[in-house]
């Protein structure tokens, strides 16, 4: 053994004194560093969680009152001189009713409530406490029961959005008069209704069943929900079969060559293309080249189909690849053709996974708005769309439009619409998770 080597080995035979103060201090420092590191990691998770909590809490806090609306009970004298004769045949009666001056009926009722309010401007202000939907409301009351004509009846009428916001405490009435929309006079009138216990805040079903409107107290999400449903239907009917077919081909039939590689890389890249670029494609191809109708769920659905196709292909491929080869071998051993192996054995077994991926893709499409802005699904549309070629908007775009509106009351409406959207998203994802847990097999 050479000297050199002996020296060398000597380095290693020196025992480390782990109990020395230096060593102990060093280990303590290292543990501190570890704890700090761990704490940073934990904080990161907590911060992410708190962000989510803050986001959702904020939306719910703002939005829950959006489902409620203030009404004021007002004694309406259904003056027969202003209203059509109830003995008319129904179609003539309703046509005449549509022409009747409901505004005057309301004005008279309010002037009767406040006999000492006079002057044109004050009276206009007084009627402005009620929603502009009040006329339609009165019409409904009369249509439902024409016998009210000639009587006086206490009717619950929607208040204007400003009154509603004051009632919900969203507007600070403590600030000076010029800084708020509702003036002292109006507050005094409102105060009187309140004293008589005639102002009430209740669930506002119109928000669920109605279409869009310029007035926050009259808006509803049904038009947008229907638009979203029609759009998603188109997306599902196009993206699912094509995506499934592509996945089957790539997993079961495609030869392993350069071209297949290109397709795969291409699909992965498509999945990461910004959604707005798909909007540009939709605009140039479906609207520009094919000349299809703007703002229609058909075009929106096709555009979103292009967007979700890569997601569906990728998840369907994963589900198909998870089916073990032994099942294919068994089927082939019984004389099944490759096509029969795929369609009779592999695809049915992979179906739960494919469905899960599809639902998640659809949920993503449901939340998508940017590409739909490109193809004009951003118009103000009051009517609920009846078909895939009617102009329509979708829930996220509706949210975008409302978020842009200046009225204070639109904040709660927007938040409420977000709650509706999140409800659908959570339901869809819940369904996907349930499917996965219920049917997932471990091979």
Partner 1 sequence: MPDTAIDLQNTVGAQPKMSIRDVHVRYGETHAVKGINLDLYQDNVTALIGPSGCGKSTLLRCLNRMNDTIVDCSVEGSILLDGEDIYAKEIDVVQLRARVGMVFQKPNPFPKSVYDNVAYGPRIHGLATDRDALDEIVEASLEKAGLWHEVKDRLDHLGTTLSGGQQQRLCIARAIAVNPEVILMDEPCSSLDPIATARVEALIDELSGHYAIVIVTHSMQQAARVSQKTVFFHLGEMIEYGDTTQIFTAPRQERTRDYITGRFG
Partner 2 sequence: MTNATIVVVLALMALIAFAVVRQRSVALVAGATDQLHSLPRYHGYYAALMVALPGLVVLVLWLISGKYIVENLILSGLPSALVDANAERLDLLVNRIRLIAENGVGLETDDAILDAAARFNSLYGRGIAATLVLTMAAAGAGYLYAVGKVAPLFRARTRFEKILHSMLALSSFLAIGITIGIIGSLIFESLRFFQQVPLEEFIFGLKWSPQTALRVDQIAAEGSFGAVPLFAGTFLISLIAMVVAGPIGLFAAIYLTQYASPRTRNFAKPILEILAGVPTVVYGFFAALTVAPLFRDLGMTLGLDIASESALVAGVVMGIMIIPFVSSLSDDALMAVPDAMKEGSLALGATPAETVMKVLLPSALPGIASAFLLAASRAVGETMIVVMAAGMRPNLTANPLEAVTTVTVQIVALLTGDQEFNSTKTLSAFALGLALFVTTLMLNIFALRLVRRYRQVYE
Residues numbered 324-343 forming contacts with partner 2, rule: CB under 8 A: 337-339
Using the rule CB under 8 A, which residue among 18, 45, 255, 438 binds partner 1? 18
Counting contacts by CB under 8 A, is residue 141 touching partner 2?
A: no
The pair of structure tokens assigned to 206 is: 């119109």
What three-state secondary structure class fits 214? coil
Report 56-95 residues binding partner 2 (CB under 8 A): 58-59, 62
Report 21-80 residues binding partner 1 (CB under 8 A): 23, 26-27, 30-31
Counting contacts by CB under 8 A, is residue 310 touching partner 2?
A: yes
Counting contacts by CB under 8 A, is residue 187 touching partner 2?
A: no
Counting contacts by CB under 8 A, is residue 378 touching partner 2?
A: yes
Using the rule CB under 8 A, which residue among 115, 174, 291, 335 binds partner 2? 291
The pair of structure tokens assigned to 156 is: 């619950």
295 touches, from partner 2, partner 1, none (C-beta below 5 to 8 Å by class) = none
What count of residues does the chain have?
Answer: 443
Counting contacts by CB under 8 A, is residue 234 touching partner 2?
A: no
Q: How far apart are CA 413 and CA 367, in angstroms?
A: 17
Residue 134: closest CA among 181, 74, 80, 178: 74
Residue 359: closest CA among 249, 266, 243, 245: 243
422 touches, from partner 1, partner 2, none (C-beta below 5 to 8 Å by class) = partner 2
Counting contacts by CB under 8 A, is residue 396 touching partner 2?
A: yes
Q: How far apart are CA 229 and CA 142, in angstroms?
A: 34
According to DSSP, residue 335 is labeled T
Question: Judged by CB under 8 A, which stretch of 8-16, 198-206, 268-276, 325-333 contacts partner 1?
Answer: 8-16
Q: How far apart are CA 157 and CA 152, in angstroms?
A: 14
Q: How far apart are CA 110 and CA 29, in angstroms?
A: 78
309 touches, from partner 2, partner 1, none (C-beta below 5 to 8 Å by class) = partner 2
- Say which residues have a Cβ less than 8 Å from residue 211's Cβ, sequence separation at least 6: 220, 222, 223, 381, 382, 383, 384
Report 253-272 residues binding partner 2 (CB under 8 A): 253-254, 262-263, 265-270, 272
Counting contacts by CB under 8 A, is residue 237 touching partner 2?
A: no
253 touches, from partner 2, partner 1, none (C-beta below 5 to 8 Å by class) = partner 2
The pair of structure tokens assigned to 246 is: 């592509």
Please give the residue ranges that form the binding site for partner 1 (CB under 8 A).
5, 8-16, 18, 23, 26-27, 30-31
């Amino acid at each position: 053994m050479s000297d050199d080597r002996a020296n060398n080995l000597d380095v290693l035979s020196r025992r480390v004194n782990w109990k020395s103060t230096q060593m102990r201090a060093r280990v303590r420092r290292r543990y501190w560093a570890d704890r700090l590191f761990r704490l940073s990691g934990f904080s990161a998770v907590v911060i992410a969680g708190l962000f989510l909590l803050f986001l959702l809490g904020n939306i719910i806090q703002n939005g829950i009152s959006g489902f409620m609306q203030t009404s004021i009970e007002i004694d309406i004298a259904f003056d027969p001189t202003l209203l059509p004769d109830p003995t008319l045949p129904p179609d003539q009666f309703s046509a005449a009713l549509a022409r009747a001056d409901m505004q005057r009926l309301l004005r008279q009722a309010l002037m009767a409530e406040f006999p000492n309010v006079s002057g044109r401007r004050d009276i206009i202000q007084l009627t402005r406490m009620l929603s502009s939907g009040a006329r339609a409301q009165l019409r409904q009351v009369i249509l439902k029961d024409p016998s009210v004509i000639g009587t006086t009846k206490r009717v619950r009428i929607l208040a204007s959005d400003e009154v509603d916001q004051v009632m919900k405490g969203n507007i600070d009435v403590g600030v000076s008069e010029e800084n708020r929309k509702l003036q002292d006079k109006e507050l005094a009138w409102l105060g009187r209704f309140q004293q008589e216990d005639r102002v009430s805040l209740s669930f506002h079903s119109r928000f669920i069943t109605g279409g869009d409107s310029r007035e926050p107290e009259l808006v509803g999400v049904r038009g947008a929900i229907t638009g979203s449903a029609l759009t998603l239907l188109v997306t599902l009917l196009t993206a699912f079969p094509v995506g499934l077919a592509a996945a089957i081909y790539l997993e079961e039939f495609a030869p392993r060559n350069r071209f297949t590689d290109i397709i795969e890389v291409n699909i992965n890249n498509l999945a990461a293309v910004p959604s707005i670029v798909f909007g540009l494609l939709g605009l140039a191809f479906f609207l520009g080249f094919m000349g299809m109708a703007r703002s229609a769920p058909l075009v929106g659905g096709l555009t979103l189909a292009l967007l979700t196709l890569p997601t569906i292909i990728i998840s369907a491929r994963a589900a198909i690849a998870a089916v073990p080869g032994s099942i294919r071998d068994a089927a082939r051993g019984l004389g099944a053709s490759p096509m029969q192996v795929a369609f009779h054995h592999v695809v049915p077994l992979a179906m739960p996974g494919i469905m899960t991926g599809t639902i998640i893709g659809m949920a993503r499409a449901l939340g998508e708005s940017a590409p739909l802005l490109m193809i004009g699904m951003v118009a103000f549309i009051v009517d609920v769309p009846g078909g895939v070629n009617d102009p329509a908007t979708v829930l996220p775009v509706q949210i975008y439009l409302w978020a842009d509106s200046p009225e204070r009351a639109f904040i709660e409406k927007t938040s409420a619409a977000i709650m509706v959207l999140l409800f659908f998203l959570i339901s869809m994802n819940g369904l996907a998770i349930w499917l996965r847990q219920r049917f997932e097999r471990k091979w």
